[in-house]
Amino acid sequence: MPTPDDLAPGPGPVLDQFAAAHPDRHPAAWDADPHGPRLYRAFAARLIARGHPAQGLSLARRGVAAYPGDAELRYLVALGFARGGNAGSAEHALGPLLRERLAGPTGLDRLTADVIALRGRLLKDRFRREPDAAARAALAAGSADWYETAAAHAPDATYPLVNAATMRLLAGDAAGARRHADAVLAAVRPAADDYWAHATAGEAELVAGRPEPAASHFETAVGRMLAAEDYGSLAALIGNLRLLAAAGVGGDLAWVHARLGNVVVYSGHRIDPPGAPARFPDDPALVERVRAAVRAALDAANARFAFGSLAGGADVLFAEELLARGADLQVVLPCAADDFRRTSVDYGRPELRHWADRAAAVLGRLRPDQVHHATEEPYLGSDQLFAYTNEVIQGMAVVRAAQFGFPPEAVVLLDPAAPAAPGGARHFREQWTAAGRPCRTIDLAAVRGYAAAAAHPGWSAGGWEPPAATLPRPIRAMLFADVAAFSRMREEFAPAFFTRFSDLLAGALATAGPAALMANTWGDGFFAVFPGAVEAAEFATGLLARFEAAAADWQAVGFPDPNPLRVGLHVGPVFERADDPVLKGRNVFGRHVNRAARIEPVTTPGCAYASEQCAAQLAVHAPGRFDCDFVGVEQLPKGGGPLPLFRVAPAAGRVAGGPAGG
C-alpha cells in the first residue's frame, strides 16, 4: 500500500500525478495520514498554481471534509475561488479564516501572511475593475493596509511589501510607497535566472522613482519569461506595469512592446485548387517572390506571436517564416486533418503533395498546445467551417494581445480582384478591419506581375467530393449549467430549491426572448442553445447575477456557496433538427454539444467558463463588452481531453445581461 510520501507530487505534469494518486484510488493515504492532510494540501496548492483552480478547489473542499478545520485547506478553498474568478465566494470563504488568524498568536507565520495577503489581492482585483476614481483610491488604500499587515507576519516580506508599495502609490501616498519600496530593495537579491525576483526589484525601483535600474531589472525579467515561454507571468508583469503607468509612474511602455514584439494574425490565398482562376499557381519562382514579401511584412510588423491556419500556399509560407524568426506560432485547423488536407492543402493531387509535406513539417515543429482545432470532426461539405475558423483565429489573437495590452495586427496576402467569399482572404481582412484593427496587405497581383487567367489549362473542376451532412450543420453556442453540491442537499429542502431554481431560469429565458433557440432542464441541470457566443454570454452573466442576488435562498437550503451555479459555454458546429418528435421543436446534437457539457463540471461555482472558441468569438463580435480572463488548461471529464478555459464576466462598468454601457 503506497504511503503519502510515495504519492506526493513531484516535478512534471500535475494532472497526471493527481490521476495516479487520486484519493478514490488510495483513500487510506489521503484520509488517515497521522501527519495530517499532506496530500490534500500539496495537490490542491499545485493544481491551483498550475492553472486548474476548479479541481484544486474541489480537492481542498474534500480535504476540509476529511480534516475539519484545517486552516491551510480552508485558505486553499478561498484561493481556489479567487484564482477561478469568483471574488464573492472567495471573500465568503476567507472571512472567518482571516478573523481567526488575526486573533491568533502574533509573530512570523507563512500561512497567516498568505491569508492576509489574499485579502489585499482581492481588493487589488476590485481596484482594477472599479471605474469610479474615489472608489478606486479607497480600494487601493485598503489593499495596501492588508498587504502591510501581511508583511508584518511574513518570514519573507518582499511579496506583500512590493504590493503594498504599488497600492500605496496608487492611493496617492508617495512617501509610504517609497518607504516600502526601499525595504524591498534592501531585502531582495535576484539571481540571474529568477525572473520574478527581477520583476519584484524592478517594480520597487520604479515606485522608488529610479527608472533606469528598474528598466534593467524588467529587461532581464521579460527576457527570461520569453525564454521560458511563461506568457502567463509575462502578462501579469505587464499588468502591474500598466497599473503604475496609469498613475504616471514608469512612462511609456513602448520599450516593452518593442522587446515583446507584436501579436499578428495572418491569412492569404491558397495555391490554386482544381478549376480555380490562376490566382496563385504553383510556380516555384512566384512562390519564392511571395515568400520574400511575407518575410518583409512580418519583419515590418515585428511579429512575435502569431495565429493562423495551414492551408497550402500563403498559410504555409507564413508559418515557415514565423518559425524561422522564432515566433510563438499558434495554428488553427478547421476540421479533421485528412479532410483539411484534401480541401485546402493538396486537394488530393499528387503534383501538389509537396504542400502537404511542408504543412506536416510545420506541425511537426509545434508543441501539442500550439495546434488547435475549430472542430476535429469531418468537413462534410460545411463551408461555414472556414469562416468560423477565421473567427477563432482572430479572436485568439485579440485575447492574447489583450493579455499584453498591445493592439494586434493582421498581415494578409490578397489579390485585389478576389471576391469576399466566406472564409477567404478578403473576407478575413474585411472582418478584421471592420473593428478598426490595423492590417498590412501584400498585393498578390503586384507580386505575381500579371493578371489572373480564367483557369488553369488542363485542370478539371472535379476533385475530391466530401460526403455531405444529411441535416443542417450551423454554428451554435451551447450553455450547460448546474448547481454545485446539489447531490448533498437534504430532501426536505427540495421543494424550496426547485421552486426558486425554476423561477430564476424562467425569468432569464423571458429576458432572452427569441435569442434562446431552445432550452431544457432536468433536476438541477439546464441546457440552452443560442445563435452565437454573444447571446450565450449575455444570458450566462445575467443568469449568474440572478442567482447571486438570491444568495440567502441558497444558504437557507444548505448550500455552502452564496452562488452555487456553474455555467459552461462553447461554440461549434452542431447538427440541428427543427422538428424533434420528442421535444416537439428544435434540437441539436453532436460532439460540440458534448464538449459544452464537459466544461460545466470543471467550472468554479458562481462563474461562467468558456472554451477558447467561445472566448474568441466574443473577442471578435463583442469587443469591450465582456472580460475573458484565462483560467488555465483543464482536463475535461469523461475523456474530454485538455481544454483552455476562460472566465466570462461583464466588462467593468457593464450590468450583467444588459447592453453595452448599461
| DSSP line for 489-537 | S-GGGHHHHHHHHHHHHHHHHHHHGGG--EEEEETTEEEEEESSHHHHH
Check residue 536 and give its pLDDT. Answer: 97
Check residue 638 and give its pLDDT. Answer: 80
Three cell numbers at 253? Answer: 511602455
Give the 3-state secondary structure of residue 572.
strand
Q: Residue-wise over 529-554: b if at least 16 C-beta within 10 A, else e?
A: bbebbbbbbbbbbbbbbbbbebbebb
Radius of gyration of the chain from its Cα atoms, rounded to whole angstroms:
27
Instruction: Specify the DSSP class assigned to residue 602.
Output: G
Three cell numbers at 332? Answer: 488553427
Q: What is the pLDDT of residues 602-636, one digit of tens each?
A: 898 999 999 989 999 999 999 889 988 887 777 78
Check residue 463 and give its pLDDT. Answer: 54
Planar angle of CA 304, 308, 314, nearest 5 degrees: 100
Q: Please report which helix (H) or strand (E) contains residue 480, including its range.
A: strand 475-483
Q: Where in the sequence of the chain do the CATH 3.40.50.450 domains occur?
A: 261-448
The CATH number assigned to the domain with range 261-448 reads 3.40.50.450
Instruction: Specify the DSSP class assigned to residue 173.
Output: -
Is 475-650 assigned to CATH 3.30.70.1230? yes
Q: Where in the sequence of the chain do the CATH 3.30.70.1230 domains occur?
A: 475-650
Residue 134 CB partners (closer than 8 Å, separation 6+): none
Three cell numbers at 32? Answer: 488517515
The stretches in the chain having pLDDT less than 50 are 455-462, 655, 658-662
Residues 345, 255: Cα–Cα separation, whole Å:
39
Grid cell 478547421 in the structure block, residue: 334
Residues 238, 94: Cα–Cα separation, whole Å:
28
Residues 420, 440: Cα–Cα separation, whole Å:
17
Output the CA torsion 363→365→371→375 (10° steps). 10
